[in-house]
Amino acid sequence: MFFVTKILKYYTKRGIVQTRSLLLIPVPFFSYLYALNLNIMIKTENISFSYTEYDKIEDLNSVDLELVMAAREAAMNAYAPYSKFKVGAAVKLTSGAVIRGANVENAAFPSGICAERSALSSSVSNHSNDKPIAMAIASMRGDEYTDDPPSPCGNCRQVIAEEESRINGKIKIILSGKNKTMVIDGIGDLLPLQFNRKNLNI
C-alpha cells in the first residue's frame, strides 16, 4: 500500500495523474491492496458433485429399479389434497427390507410431512438396527408421474443427513422422473457444508 501511494504521489506531482481522477479508482482495488498489505488470504472455493443420470429407468441395475418402483407405488398412497403433488419414498435397508413412505398433507400446512421423512421415521422406528443404504424418491402430479425427478426439500435433506450421521454411512439417493433418473452418492452432495453432530462436538 505504501509503495502504491508513493507511485501515485510521484505521478500526481508531475500532473500525470489528476487528484480528481484518483476518486475513480474503485474501492475494491484498494481493498485488495489493503488485504495484500496485511497478508490476508482471500480464496474462492468451488463445491461440485457428480451423479449418474439415466434416461430410462430400465437401465438402472435391478436393485435400484426395484427401489424406484417401490417409491412409485408409495407415491400412489400419498395424501396430497392441497398440492396435488404426490411423493413416494422407498428406503432399502441392509437386510434387504424396503420401507415406504408418502407425503401426508394437513390443512394446517406445517403439520404435514414429506415422503422422505415419513419413510425414514418408519425405518428408524421399526428397524433401528437395520441400516438404510439407499433411498428412491418418485413423484406424481395428479395421476401422472412427473417428467423431472423430485428433489428433497431442505428439511428432508437435513433429516437424511442426520440418518447418515446416525448410521455412520452413506445413503444412496435415487431421484426418479419419467424423463430421467439421477443416482447420487450420498446426501453430502445435496447438502454440502451441512450442520450436524460435529458442530455440537458429538
Residues known to be catalytic: 116
Q: Tell the smallest beta-carbon distance from residue 113 to Zn ion (Å).
A: 8
Site for Zn ion contains 90 (CB under 5 A): no
Minimum CB distance to Zn ion smaller for 12 or for 196: 196
Minimum CB distance to Zn ion smaller for 4 or for 153: 153
Site for Zn ion contains 119 (CB under 5 A): no
CA torsion sign for 75, 145, 135, 130 is positive
Single out the segment in contact with Zn ion by CB under 5 A; choices: 57-65, 91-99, 112-120, 130-138: 112-120
Q: Out of 75, 114, 119, 135, name the contact with Zn ion by CB under 5 A.
A: 114
Closest CA to 88 of 65, 72, 107: 72
| Residue carrying C-alpha cell 461440485 | 48
Single out the segment in contact with Zn ion by CB under 5 A; choices: 35-43, 107-115, 143-151, 185-193: 107-115
**Cα–Cα distance for residue pair 100/127, rounded to 1 Å:** 13
Beta carbons of 137 and 100 less than 8 angstroms apart: no
Q: Tell the smallest beta-carbon distance from residue 158 to Zn ion (Å).
A: 9
Site for Zn ion contains 171 (CB under 5 A): no
Site for Zn ion contains 153 (CB under 5 A): yes
Q: Tell the smallest beta-carbon distance from residue 116 to Zn ion (Å).
A: 5
User: Three-class SS of residue 173?
Assistant: strand
Closest CA to 183 of 193, 172, 194: 172
* Long-range pairs, 56-62, Cβ under 8 A, ≥24: 57/176, 57/181, 60/174, 60/181, 60/183
**Cα–Cα distance for residue pair 125/101, rounded to 1 Å:** 13
Site for Zn ion contains 36 (CB under 5 A): no
CB-based closest residue to Zn ion: 114
Site for Zn ion contains 156 (CB under 5 A): yes
